[in-house]
Chains A and B, each alone.
Chain A
Amino acid sequence: MSKRKPYTRELPVDWWLKQIFYTKYMIREGTSLLITVYSLILAWGVLRLSQGEGAFNGWLDALQSPLAIILHLLMLIFALYHTVTWFSLAPKAADLWFNGKKIEDKVIVAGHYGAFAVVTIFCLLIITL
């Protein structure tokens, strides 16, 4: 008779706190919640804009409150964290070959930061000019 009795270990609920790599991953995924909130605030602004000048100015005023500023700072930090971690992973999703050789990871990452800088400057120009 077989004495086999394989033992299956339970996955603890806090598995993602036991390894820093998993914790960082959960934070990266969690940032999307705050980015969703930010998108909703922007969408709300577009809706207020369609309701006239008064409504839109009310939305702008609401954004000046200390709570709104703190929330936006928090959302900026999380968005930047997401950006940095995502850019570092980008080479894994790119299979670019040049002259029979795979393009190096750091070139792809640098390309992302370059595009990020160009888009940021472009947006700033639109807003300020």
Chain B
Amino acid sequence: MSELTIDIDVLRYRPEIDEQPFTQTFSVPYTADMSILEALQYIKDNIDSSVSFRWSCRMAICGSCGMMINGVPKLGCKAFLRDYYPQKVSLEPLANFPIERDLVVVMDDFIKKLEEIKPYLIPEKEKCLSEGAYQQTPEQMAKYKQYSMCINCGLCYAACPQYALDNKFLGPAALALISRYNRDSRDNGEALRMKIVNQEEGVWGCTFVGYCSVVCPKDVDPAAAIQLLKVESSKDYLIGMFKPD
């Protein structure tokens, strides 16, 4: 085992004991290929088994291990000790979400928002299975593919000051998910979703800080999705003035 060590500050919160969170420092053996998630697993296996954190795939697919690493929302599996060594690393639960325990946050509001926006294809006419699949050209797929890469990790919500100031704001991932379906040639649910987009809590709650797109681990670029939805929302409003539903 390596003799080098690195200090990791973990924000702890045990609801059955603590009134408020506190910082606990752990010393972990350092290797250049060790991820932050692996460091946490080392702590849990060898130092303190009560430290709680979410994880699953270890390869930036599942979106479970989002946390604040030195104040920046990142996936624990996609951030490495070598980028911080020899300075210490500070780990906190994702910002803008309530803390359930240690690095685990309550994501109910985020999940509710994802569900609210009708995240499924709404075809114009249901086809019978015998009629075959809904066809799509590569070009039609390119229009929405980027927005379909979201892994629901919540990093963009932790990066969004508008969500921090007022969590009624629908937020980056849910709005990007609206784009994912509205831009899909097989979908015909745009009119339903634009009712959500047009609200103050929809796209108009966004002030284009743009940090959501910086922290996104899958290059979904929710900030771009939202700005383009603002254009759509404005068009919707103008058309509505001349042609009410």
List, sorted by A's number, 16 A–B pairs whose CB atoms are closer than 8 Å. A6-B15, A6-B99, A7-B13, A7-B15, A7-B98, A9-B99, A11-B164, A15-B161, A19-B211, A21-B211, A25-B211, A89-B208, A89-B210, A91-B224, A100-B142, A101-B142
For this complex, into which size category does the number of interface residues on chain A fall?
20 to 34
- Inter-subunit contact B98/A92 (CB<8 Å): no
- Inter-subunit contact B71/A92 (CB<8 Å): no
A93 partner, pick from B95, B139, B213, B227, beta carbons under 8 A: B227
Interface check B209, CB cutoff 8 A: yes
Per DSSP, chain A at the interface is: mixed
Interface check B23, CB cutoff 8 A: no
A residues in contact with B122, CB < 8 Å: none
Q: How far is the CA of A19 from the CA of B20 in the complex (A)?
A: 24
User: Residues 191-231 of chain B: 1 if any A CB is under 8 Å from the residue's CB, otherwise 0?
Assistant: 00000000000000001111101100000010110011011
Q: Indicate whether A11 sits within 8 Å of B165 (C-beta atoms), given known contacts A4-B15, A25-B209, A102-B142.
A: yes
- Inter-subunit contact B224/A93 (CB<8 Å): yes
Q: Indicate whether A7 sits within 8 Å of B213 (C-beta atoms), given known contacts A93-B224, A93-B231, A100-B139.
A: no
- Inter-subunit contact B98/A18 (CB<8 Å): no
- Count contacts on B: residues with CB < 8 A to the other chain: 32
Interface check B100, CB cutoff 8 A: yes
Q: Indicate whether A8 sits within 8 Å of B98 (C-beta atoms), given known contacts A3-B16, A15-B161, A21-B214.
A: yes
B residues adjacent to A (C-beta < 8 A): 13, 15-16, 20-21, 71-72, 95-96, 98-100, 106, 139, 142, 161, 164-165, 207-211, 213-214, 221, 223-224, 227-228, 230-231
B residues in contact with A9, CB < 8 Å: 21, 95, 98-99
B residues in contact with A18, CB < 8 Å: 71
Q: How far is the CA of A127 from the CA of B28 in the complex (A)?
A: 67
User: Residues 1-44 of chain A: 1 if any B CB is under 8 Å from the residue's CB, otherwise 0?
Assistant: 00111111101000110110110010001000000000000000
Q: How far is the CA of A67 from the CA of B100 in the complex (A)?
A: 56
Q: How far is the CA of A101 from the CA of B142 in the complex (A)?
A: 8
